[in-house]
């Protein structure tokens, strides 16, 4: 079996139950397989033929319409966390630097660079998060299309555009749009690697997850899981190479650097976690 088919088999095993190669399937007359009505089948076939750009345009239009509605109703989501992130980006723009804090740095750098283009604390973060929301929608479309075809991709993109948290976060100063965009990029790369066995997609996944680990601490868990899945699948398929191992562990690089930096500064490698817990307790008190 060619390597790409081996990897596809691994993907199928992860995404859906597999039938053993020597197993036989039987259908009894008393339990015929259910079939959708012909009209429904024709409708699904028509939807399957919708061009990808049109599905994405429709999903984007839905998200823009919902966003316009909540903005016209006076919605402004700059809470303490989101506004602080924006201010930190503005401060970083005045004096670019590497610093250790309870907040991870990537969003600070992105907001700071964006404010250098258009210095508006109200508008610029919203535009950045809106663009990142479109990245999320595109990534989810491609993941769905990879797994189940164009119709699945259109459904995935449409659900993302309609999901209330995506709409809400897409006009905020929060870290979620950036985190979800990078996390979905990692999911896209992993899905494509599992179905094509092309290592460049594994590199795309690694880069996406590496950037996600620089936005939110949850990304650290996904990076570890990614490394385990990639190494396990490659070992099962006897396809472990130096490039595969490098891509698998790449998303762990930032968290290792971050922990070592905190250790050097405070003598406690997990001081950032303790400070975060103290801040959360103070806010909830």
> pLDDT tens string for the chain (285 positions)?
444 455 445 444 555 433 344 444 444 455 556 676 777 667 667 667 778 888 899 999 999 999 888 888 876 665 667 778 888 899 999 988 888 888 899 999 999 999 999 999 888 988 999 999 999 999 999 999 999 999 999 999 999 999 988 988 888 888 899 999 999 999 999 999 999 989 999 999 999 999 999 999 999 999 999 999 999 999 998 889 999 999 999 999 999 999 999 999 888 888 888 888 877 777 676
Tokens of 125: 């973060």
Torsion of CA 226, 154, 200, 195, to 10 degrees: 70
Q: What is the pLDDT of residue 26?
A: 47
Q: What are phi and psi of 32, to 5 degrees?
A: -65, 150
Q: What is the pLDDT of residue 225?
A: 97
Q: What is the pLDDT of residue 182?
A: 98
Q: What is the pLDDT of residue 27?
A: 47
Distances (CA, A) of 137 to 140, 213, 240: 5, 20, 32
Q: What is the pLDDT of residue 33?
A: 65
Picking from 150, 140, 205, the residue whose alpha carbon sits closest to that of residue 197 is: 205
Annotate 206-240 with b (16+ C-beta within 10 A) or e (fewer). bbbbbbbbbbbeebbebbbebbeebeebbeeeeee
Contact 194, 14 (CB under 8 A): yes
pTM passes above 0.75: yes
Pairwise CA distance, residues 250 & 256, whole Å: 10
Q: What are phi and psi of 269, to 5 degrees?
A: -65, -20
Picking from 205, 214, 130, 128, the residue whose alpha carbon sits closest to that of residue 179 is: 214
């Amino acid at each position: 079996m060619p390597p790409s088919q081996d990897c596809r088999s691994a993907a199928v095993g992860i995404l859906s139950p597999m039938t053993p190669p020597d197993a036989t399937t039987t259908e009894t007359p008393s339990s015929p397989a259910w079939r959708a009505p012909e009209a429904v089948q024709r409708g699904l076939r028509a939807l399957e033929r919708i061009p990808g750009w049109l599905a994405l345009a429709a999903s984007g239009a839905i998200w823009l319409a919902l966003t316009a509605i909540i903005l016209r109703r006076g919605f402004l989501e700059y809470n303490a966390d989101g506004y602080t992130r924006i201010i930190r980006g503005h401060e970083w723009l005045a004096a670019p630097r590497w610093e250790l804090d309870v907040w991870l740095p990537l969003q600070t750098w992105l907001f700071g660079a964006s404010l250098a283009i258009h210095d508006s604390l109200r508008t610029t973060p919203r535009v950045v998060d809106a663009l990142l929301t479109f990245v999320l929608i595109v990534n989810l479309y491609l993941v769905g299309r990879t797994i189940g075809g164009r119709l699945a991709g259109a459904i995935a993109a449409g659900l993302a555009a309609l999901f209330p948290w995506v709409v809400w976060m897409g006009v905020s100063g929060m870290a979620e749009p950036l985190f979800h965009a990078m996390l979905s990029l990692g999911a896209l790369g992993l899905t494509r690697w599992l179905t094509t066995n092309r290592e460049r997609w594994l590199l795309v996944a690694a880069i996406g997850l590496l950037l996600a680990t620089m936005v939110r601490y949850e990304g650290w868990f996904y990076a570890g899981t990614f490394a385990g899945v990639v190494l396990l699948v490659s070992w099962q398929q006897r396809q472990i190479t130096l490039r595969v191992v490098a891509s698998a562990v790449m998303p762990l690089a930032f968290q290792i650097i971050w922990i070592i930096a905190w250790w050097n500064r405070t003598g406690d490698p997990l001081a950032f976690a303790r400070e975060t817990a103290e801040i959360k307790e103070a806010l909830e008190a």
